[in-house]
Structure 1
Amino acid sequence: MTVDECTKALMDHVTPEREPITYRLALGEDWYRIRLDEHAEADVKAFLDVVFDGIPTVAAEQLRTLLTAQFAAQIAAARSKRGIELLVPTPRRGGAALPGAAVLTAEVVIPAPVVPDPVEVVARVAHGSAGARTGVIAGSVAVRIDHSAADDGLDADDRLLPPTRKRIEYVIAVPNDPRWLSIDLSVQAINGFNMDQTITDFDQAVGQLSWSASE
């Protein structure tokens, strides 16, 4: 598959069903935004242009094709979850193209004959999720869910190893809208990432969420 064929795959199944949820999530300059609408192809291309800057086209073609296909798979999976945008660490020239952290924002629709009370929804989610915490973000009820699970691996002394992957998700009621906003962080202990610091920064950014146009 050529680069053009891979990037074209990013355009499949882009069919907006309603007005997008507008919000601002300020994760900072260390994060790069890939929109999951018709702009996905251009966003991925710009990302890879930085990564492969200065590398001869012929030498980079095979790896770039592979990475483009991997991005296409990520984007297809994100769209299947009603994704709005995918945020990954800002690319560096010659750096890792698929680093060990990503944030997916997506809309959540609760199937019900009538719009459920957001407070009741949060209470049910928190009750069914160990370690979940409820609160208010940007004036809306919200729940923070820790989906992380410790690895089962043991070290040479039969001590439980720390998890190498963590996943934290916020689900927030959208004002004057039956939908919810999911903000989902996945981070791995690779590429020099400090998982705990990444999660702390993520928590702070989500806490400062505002319901305005995303920039």
Structure 2
Amino acid sequence: MAEPASPPIGYRLLLPSDWVQIPLRQGDAEQAARDIVGSAFARVPADVPRDKLTPLRLDLERRLLAAVADARRAKALELYLPMRLSSEVNLGASIVVSETQLPSRSGADTESSPLSNPAEVALQLLSGDGGGIDVDLSSGEVDGALAVRRERVVLADPERRDELATRRIDYIVSVPDDPTRWFIAAFSTIGAGDPKDDLADALVEWFDALMTTFRWSWT
């Protein structure tokens, strides 16, 4: 059965159960972050000294709230973070979902038309690149929609609270039946401290596999 000729209203991803979602469009994202921390520390064994847990809890909450603030500044829609079954939140990776509009091309008749050629999209992405080394671009499809995959390493920047270099993978996907809108799923990891180490490679491979589960939603 063909999907209706109208833009989708959402999306689905088959995320593992140990990842948590913090919605940024509705509700209190900051309170959601605090609830995540509270839930994690509520499962810590009772015999663990409270005076040792309190500094850890405050530091974790600070970092989670900073991640929420960064996602809000980027006008993101959702933030996903991994929650280990051992009740530890691993901030070594994250997924930020957002939406953007890429500039249109202007023709000789001064009318604009949306970019649709993958090469043109790639050029726009490069011209607006926020920095990075070893940038790699490729194009294809995600759930039948034109997509561009960008991979890069972003060096540490203490001024932005980036104390370690990160490996970043962006999937920029054209929204069906609305060629001016683009969906972005941005994955970031520090690996085990080196954005090119084996852990980073494994996490990038996992994220690429995750994006094969991406589906648009019309309901």
What are the equivalent positions in structure 2 for 1:1-215 lying under 5 Å apart? 22-37=10-25, 38-53=27-42, 54=44, 59=51, 60-95=53-88, 97-112=89-104, 114=112, 116-119=114-117, 121-125=120-124, 130-148=135-153, 165-177=166-178, 178-190=180-192, 194-212=199-217
CA distance in 2, matches of 1:131, 1:99: 25
Give the conservation status (yes or no) of the 8 Å contact 2:13–2:211. yes
Range moving further from structure 2, 27-36 or 120-129 = 120-129
CA distance in 1, matches of 2:113, 2:83: 38
Shift of the 20–36 alpha-carbon distance from structure 1 to 2, 3 Å rule, reads farther
* SS of equivalent residue, structure 1 residue 41: helix
CA distance in 2, matches of 1:195, 1:117: 32
Q: Which residue is 1:7 aligned to?
A: none
* SS of equivalent residue, structure 1 residue 26: coil
Deviation for aligned residue 1:45: 2.8
Structure 1's unaligned 5+ residue stretches are 1-18, 152-162
Give the conservation status (yes or no) of the 8 Å contact 1:103–1:183. yes
Shift of the 63–149 alpha-carbon distance from structure 1 to 2, 3 Å rule, reads closer
Give the conservation status (yes or no) of the 8 Å contact 2:171–2:185. yes
Identity between Structure 1 and Structure 2 (%)? 27
Give the conservation status (yes or no) of the 8 Å contact 2:169–2:188. yes
Structure 2's unaligned 5+ residue stretches are 1-6, 107-111, 130-134, 157-163
CA distance in 1, matches of 2:21, 2:218: 14
Normalising to structure 2: TM-score of the pair? 0.69
CA distance in 2, matches of 1:186, 1:164: 10
The alignment's C-alpha RMSD in Å is 3.4
Give the conservation status (yes or no) of the 8 Å contact 1:164–1:189. no
* Structure with greater strand percent: 2
**Deviations 1:135-172 (CA, angstroms, capped at 9, x unpaired):** 11111111001112689xxxxxxxxxxx9631111111
Q: How many residues align?
A: 184
Deviation for aligned residue 1:203: 0.5
Normalising to structure 1: TM-score of the pair? 0.70
CA distance in 2, matches of 1:122, 1:49: 42
